[in-house]
Amino acid sequence: MSQIRQPYLLFLGDAPDRLAAKTAVGVYDWRPDACVGQFRLPGCVPDLGIDEPGIAGAVERGARTLLIGVANRGGTIPSSWLAPMCEALEAGMDIASGLHTHLDSIAELRETAGRAGRALIDVRVPGESYPIASGEPRSGHRLLAVGTDCSVGKMYTTLAIEREMRARGFDADFKATGQTGIFIAGGGVPVDAVISDFIAGSIEHLCPAAPHAHWDIVEGQGSLFHPSFSGVSLGLLHGAQPDTLVLCHEPTRSHMRGLPHQSLPGLQECMEANLEWARVVSSNPRFVGISINTYHVDPADRESLLGRLEDEFAMPCVDPMVTGVGALVDQLAQ
């Protein structure tokens, strides 16, 4: 996958609701300065509340890439999107997408991009070949967010940690391993799309040896305990070679995401398992805290929940969107 050129014009298409446009929402939440505006078609419901400069206006503002920030049912590209997409290519923008339908499978886009000399970037397609992981100890700090399950807040946690660390003067970079994270960072490794022999190698490539004071803040994926995706999680853990981990958890979930028969691991069990496997590649890995997604928790109960977990595990317990992650970053400074 090529580097994605920022800033973006966020394409919301004819999204029926905010959830359908969650990629655009996530990118704008975390990189407002990398977005020159939004592009909405007639019938589009969600509204980021930012300018709509149109294609030509976006180019004037410096937009380099039209970012398809909407997921259509079935991951297809409806014909109503093609005119503005081609206009963007002809105006000098690349197009980047995480949809199932590959951009270059559509002749009109492929031909227009070829003629205009612009790139069609599918972030589900790893565009480079990665090495086999060596597992050799390497310099620099790496923090990895791991989870009791999929979709429990690993991306938001790592982005919040990067923001807080940078605000405090740390040399820290968020390293993306999923589609939305890749749009936010402008690059990364779509690890769930990598050939399985190269999972760990792709992550070694993503966060290589670095100066001693540098921190790579690595977005985790899945869970060691999720039988559909555990291989990705273990390969990612071994490739990341983290010295520092944060456990992410969604406390209202009754079973593993998508698997009604599969129960969640306990937090203690999940931390121990991740430490056990981190030790295969890291000499002294440690958890610096727990990140709880309390979105579905009664607001009146949030504080006591976080407090109880802090007492139980004797480490900071935060919700990035409620308390911030300052308490986690305090631990890194030590």
Amino acid found at 44? C
- What residues between 137 and 166 interact with a second copy by CB under 8 A? 137
104: enclosing H helix or E strand: none
Q: Is there a contact between 122 and 187 (Cβ–Cβ < 8 Å)? A: no
Asked if residue 50 binds a second copy (CB under 8 A), the reply is no
Size of the site for a second copy (CB under 8 A): 40
Token pair in block for residue 235: 């390969």
Asked if residue 32 binds a second copy (CB under 8 A), the reply is no
Asked if residue 56 binds a second copy (CB under 8 A), the reply is no
For the CB of residue 287, give the shortest distance to a second copy in the complex, in Å: 19
For the CB of residue 196, give the shortest distance to a second copy in the complex, in Å: 5
> Among residues 45, 195, 209, 213, which is the contact residue for a second copy, using CB under 8 A?
195
Asked if residue 105 binds a second copy (CB under 8 A), the reply is no
> Among residues 123, 225, 325, 332, which is the contact residue for a second copy, using CB under 8 A?
225
Asked if residue 228 binds a second copy (CB under 8 A), the reply is yes
- What residues between 255 and 314 interact with a second copy by CB under 8 A? 256, 258-259, 261-262, 273, 276-277, 280-281
Nearest to residue 207, comparing CAs of 164, 184, 175, 161? 175
**SS3 track for 136-168:** CCCCCEEEEEEECCCCCCHHHHHHHHHHHHHHC
For the CB of residue 94, give the shortest distance to a second copy in the complex, in Å: 24
Place of tokens 């968020």: 174
Residue closer to a second copy, measured from CB, 78 or 131 = 131
Token pair in block for residue 141: 């700090």
**Which part of the chain contacts a second copy (CB under 8 A), choosing from 11-19, 115-123, 194-202, 285-293?**
194-202
| Residue 298, burial from CB neighbour count under 10 angstroms (0-12, 13-18, 19+) | exposed
Token pair in block for residue 318: 């935060």
> Among residues 60, 108, 111, 197, which is the contact residue for a second copy, using CB under 8 A?
197
Find the DSSP H helices in 18-61. 22-30, 54-60
Partners of 325 in beta bridges: none
Asked if residue 178 binds a second copy (CB under 8 A), the reply is no
- Compute φ and ψ for 39, nearest 5 degrees: -125, 115
Binding site for a second copy (CB under 8 A): 132-137, 191-197, 199-201, 224-225, 227-236, 238-239, 256, 258-259, 261-262, 273, 276-277, 280-281
